[in-house]
């Protein structure tokens, strides 16, 4: 596998190319999840390398890949959904124009928020297929609500002194009210950035996500879509895939024991221990079943297109 760093307008990107020299190859654009992550999937607080590992999986299958930084890594509060969509489109065209790439065989693989962005841009860019990882069937607001409810369920289940204290302090009720007030403030704000307890937050990004109806895009797309979520994902609801069953071009898969960072997790998932549990799986490879499912699906799409040529 060869790698080459590219400079896009606002972000850096990394191209991976299979070692085989012969002919142009199909390609996969990788769109990352939310937050200030670089093209490997890392932040200043943790190094998951999930997108580096994902790119290696696709490249081993024979696909050229491109992954790229999120915009404003050092000041992510400035970033809007419009910015992210623009960067995704530019990255797609950059991949399309690489000499090693067959520009008629481009797929998009989006993870978490990236799955939503991939769905939004796919029709305009004429991608031939989508892989939606840990983000299909919901918009960001619904996913956030799912995460909060998971956390509240854990808090309610706490026993002993800690459980008594949570109830006494009305932790759940206060957090619900805090979340409602925060979203109300984002929705009503005229500014792109607001300060919440001295922390700058990207209100424009939240406002844009509030009006996204993912089913509007699912209904319009006629290309093949593979939607995958792990059974131990506490950030994207695996049950949300049920809402995609009516769409004939969407195939849904739940990977047993896979978490949100696409690794196998033996421990029961917990919102209260989230980062600790993720860090315990960072050194593991991408879930083997996920690799098998994606590989088989991609091969089927390529062979299907060849049979119609």
- List, for residues 155-188, the tens digit of each pLDDT value: 999 889 888 888 988 999 999 999 999 999 999 9
Determine the pLDDT at residue 37: 96
**Res 199 pLDDT > 70:** yes
Q: What mean pLDDT do residues 97-122 have?
A: 96
pLDDT-derived band at 23, boundaries 50, 70, 90: confident
Closest CA to 125 of 150, 95, 153: 95
Determine the pLDDT at residue 308: 61
How does the average pLDDT of the chain come out, rounded? 94
How far is the C-alpha of 37 from the C-alpha of 69, rounded, in Å? 6
The whole-model pTM stands at: 0.95
pLDDT-derived band at 225, boundaries 50, 70, 90: very high
Q: What mean pLDDT do residues 264-283 have?
A: 94
Determine the pLDDT at residue 22: 77
pLDDT-derived band at 246, boundaries 50, 70, 90: very high
Closest CA to 122 of 239, 250, 306: 250
Q: What mean pLDDT do residues 115-119 have?
A: 98
**Res 309 pLDDT > 70:** no
Percentage with pLDDT > 70 across the chain: 98
pLDDT-derived band at 306, boundaries 50, 70, 90: low
Residue 210 φ then ψ, to 5°: -60, -25
**Res 44 pLDDT > 90:** no
**Res 221 pLDDT > 90:** yes
Q: What mean pLDDT do residues 257-261 have?
A: 97
Determine the pLDDT at residue 62: 95
| Contact in structure between 195 and 204 (CB atoms under 8 Å) | no
Determine the pLDDT at residue 198: 87
């Amino acid at each position: 596998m060869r790698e080459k760093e590219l400079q896009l307008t606002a972000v850096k990107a990394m191209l991976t190319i299979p070692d085989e020299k012969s002919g142009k190859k199909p390609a996969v654009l990788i769109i990352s999840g939310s937050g200030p992550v670089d093209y490997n999937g890392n932040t200043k607080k943790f190094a998951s390398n999930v997108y580096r590992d994902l790119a290696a999986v696709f490249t081993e299958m024979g696909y050229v890949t491109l992954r790229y930084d999120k915009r404003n890594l050092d000041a992510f509060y400035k970033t809007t959904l419009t910015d992210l969509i623009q960067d995704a489109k530019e990255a797609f065209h950059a991949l399309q124009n690489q000499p090693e790439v067959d520009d008629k065989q481009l797929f998009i693989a989006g993870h978490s928020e990236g799955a939503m962005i991939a769905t939004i841009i796919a029709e305009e860019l004429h991608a031939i297929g989508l892989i939606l990882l840990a983000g299909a069937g919901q918009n960001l607001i619904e996913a956030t609500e799912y995460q909060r409810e998971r956390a509240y369920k854990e808090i309610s289940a706490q026993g002993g002194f800690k459980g008594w204290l949570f109830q006494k302090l009305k932790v759940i009720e206060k957090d619900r009210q805090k979340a409602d007030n925060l979203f109300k403030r984002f929705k009503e704000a005229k500014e792109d950035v607001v300060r919440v307890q001295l922390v700058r937050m990207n209100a424009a990004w939240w406002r844009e996500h509030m009006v996204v109806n993912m089913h509007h895009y699912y209904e319009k797309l006629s290309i093949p879509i593979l939607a995958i979520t792990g059974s131990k994902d506490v950030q994207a609801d695996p049950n949300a895939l049920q809402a995609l069953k009516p769409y004939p071009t969407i195939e849904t898969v739940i990977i047993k024991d896979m978490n949100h960072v696409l690794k196998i997790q033996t421990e029961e998932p917990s919102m209260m221990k989230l980062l600790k549990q993720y860090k315990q799986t960072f050194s593991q490879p991408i879930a083997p079943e996920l690799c098998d499912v994606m590989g088989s699906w991609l091969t089927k799409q390529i062979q299907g297109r060849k049979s119609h040529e």
